Amino acid sequence: MLHEFPLSEVRLDACVQQRERLSVAEFLDEMAVAAHHHAECRGIHLSVEPASRPLVVNADQQLLAAAVMNLLNNAFTFTRPGGRVVLRAREEGGRLLLEVEDQSGGIRDTVGDPFQAFGERRGRDQTGLDLGVHIARKAVHAQGGDIHIRNVPGAGCVFVIDMPLDPEEASTPTTSP
């Protein structure tokens, strides 16, 4: 089983955050190491695509790790053996975008809001996404970030965690080669 960072909704709502400056490259490496065995056991290729330059984000490492690991676990669950899952970091407009891209075939329309816990999806198909996506959203929102999905029916999904970069980092201009 993938190393999980268990967080209940109660704990997310009441937790004291321990924000710190995190190197995005180091964080991605840690997530890849933690997830590699689970991907390998399921016959899934996990690739990591770091940002084009060093990035720093102010975040609670445990909350951010919980969000990313829950999204990776979801991707591994719904991607068939032989498929690929990508963990990617990129910068856009002074913000960090952490992406988990899968080859799950996409989310069916009958799933409803994939960020709602199953019990909140009254009358909808309750198969598919698990509680991990709901927890990931709460963990990201608790840090002032957002999370959304790009769904490509028949291909897969890209879950995107969107967080502000460290203010000093965001004001540092990128240099062109």
Identify the band that residue 12 occupies on the pLDDT scale cut at 50, 70 and 90.
low
Predicted pLDDT at 68: 96
The mean of the pLDDT values for the chain is 80
Mean pLDDT of 37-65: 95
Predicted pLDDT at 119: 40
pLDDT per position as a tens digit, 115-144 = 544 344 333 333 444 567 888 888 899 888
Predicted pLDDT at 108: 67
Domain chopping of the chain, boundaries = 17-156
> What is the pTM (predicted TM-score) of this model?
0.78
Greater confidence (34 vs 108) lies with 34
Report the distance separating Cα 110 and Cα 127, nearest Å. Answer: 9
Report the distance separating Cα 142 and Cα 14, nearest Å. Answer: 10
At a CB cut-off of 8 Å and minimum separation 6, what does 72 contact?
Answer: 2, 31, 35, 38, 39, 46, 85, 87, 100
Report the distance separating Cα 74 and Cα 86, nearest Å. Answer: 12
Report the distance separating Cα 10 and Cα 7, nearest Å. Answer: 8
| Region 17-156: CATH code | 3.30.565.10
Percent of the chain with pLDDT over 70: 72
Greater confidence (2 vs 104) lies with 104
Predicted pLDDT at 4: 45
